[in-house]
Amino acid sequence: MKFLNILYKLSIALCLVFCLCGAWFFLISAKPAKASKPTPTVKGVAKTEKKRVVKKTKKEEPDQPVGYLRPQTVIIDSGHGGKDYGALSEGYGYEEKQLTLSTSHMVKNYLQKLGYKVVMTRNQDVFLSLDERAEIANKLPADLFISIHFNFSPNTSAEGIEVYYCTLATESSDNEKKRLKISKELAQEMLTRTVKHTGAHSRGVKTANFAVLRKTEMPAVLIECGFLSNHAERERIKDPRYLNFLAWGIARAVDFHLTSHF
Ligand SMILES: [Zn+2]
């Protein structure tokens, strides 16, 4: 009996040892499992959400439209400026450089209201060479170049509006031919609209090898808005209301041309 009692106690002791060992192994094996399951950090959550957003965006991305994505840009070149007065008469109180700038600002305002981006070669009374004017335009993705001038003649009865585009060089590329074709159409449109809105005499569309028309790379026209040497026309030109009609005619021609060609 004594032997059985000892055996019984021994087996209980062994059971206890096994239980303790089992518990110890369980704890050892459970620790790495807990460690491999990281607590989500803010960074981790953001990363997960970002992945989901990217996936969602890709799935819902619409087909890109193919077409005109930038606003159409018009360059307005105010003739003369600074030391270059253009046609000048202190006696009659006019400076061509000032009249071209005033008219250019009016054209700019109208075009901006119509939704166009406008860049002026000069915003104030400064001198610019003809090359500089063309360079300003050529650096931009510009759609049209409009140079604004007023006329003068020893013949004081000469009057009216005329619009110029560049003559075609003999060795012209297809692009240049296209540019000049568009220039000619714009010149005609500008003459029609300005004459309509001012009631001025039409002197027609003409060709000339002016530097600003020759050196620009986009369709370009030069408008002579009337004769400062003609008494009656000069008095009309000196009236800002007349210049406004003139500017509206120029802006409408640009708008009509760009909406029908692009
Ligand atoms: Zn001029």
pLDDT tens string 226-262 = 999 999 999 999 999 999 999 999 999 999 998 876 5
**What average pLDDT score do residues 202-206 get?**
97
Output the CATH code of domain 75-90+97-261.
Answer: 3.40.630.40
Give 149 Cα–ligand 1 centroid separation in angstroms. Answer: 4
CA of 117 to the centre of ligand 1 (A): 24
- Give me ligand 1 centre to Cα 142, in Å: 23
Would you say residue 87 has pLDDT above 60? Answer: yes
Distance 135 CA to ligand 1 centre (A): 19
Residue 157 CA to residue 32 CA, distance in Å, equals 104
Torsion over CA: 207, 213, 218, 224 (sign): negative
- The pocket of ion ligand 1, defined by CB under 5 A, consists of 79, 86, 149
Bridge partners, 145 (sequence order): 75, 220
* In the chain, domain spans: 75-90+97-261
Question: How far, rounded to the nearest angstrom, does the alpha carbon of residue 250 sit from its chain's CA centroid?
Answer: 20
Q: What is the distance in A from the centroid of ligand 1 to the CA of 85?
A: 9
107-121 per-position pLDDT tens digit: 999 999 999 999 999
